[in-house]
């Protein structure tokens, strides 16, 4: 059997933690920061864990982690 391919968009955007949760960058930080409050910009630093309902779909697209 051939190997399954990982979706290239998914491998650029997400990583799996050791326990299998999906780690992602915070949404809403690419552009338009002048409109955002300083509190929102501060709270969106770094990464976050994706909600489980969305994480199932992402895990299917990256079969080997």
pLDDT tens-digit series, residues 8-64:
999 999 999 999 999 999 999 999 999 999 999 999 999 999 999 999 999 999 998
Q: What is the pLDDT of residue 1?
A: 86
Of 64, 58, 63, 65, which Cα lies nearest the Cα of 10?
Answer: 58
Q: Domain-by-domain residue ranges, the chain?
A: 8-61
* C-alpha distances in Å from residue 1, one per residue of 17, 27, 60: 28, 37, 18
Q: What is the pLDDT of residue 12?
A: 95
- The 10 Å Cβ neighbour count of residue 10 is 15
List the CATH code of the domain at 8-61: 4.10.410.60
């Amino acid at each position: 059997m051939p190997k399954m391919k990982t979706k290239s968009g998914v491998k650029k955007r997400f990583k799996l933690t050791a326990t299998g949760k999906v780690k992602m960058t915070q949404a809403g930080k690419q552009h338009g920061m002048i409109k955002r409050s300083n509190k929102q910009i501060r709270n969106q630093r770094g990464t976050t864990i994706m909600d489980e309902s969305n994480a199932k779909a992402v895990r299917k697209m990256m079969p080997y982690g």
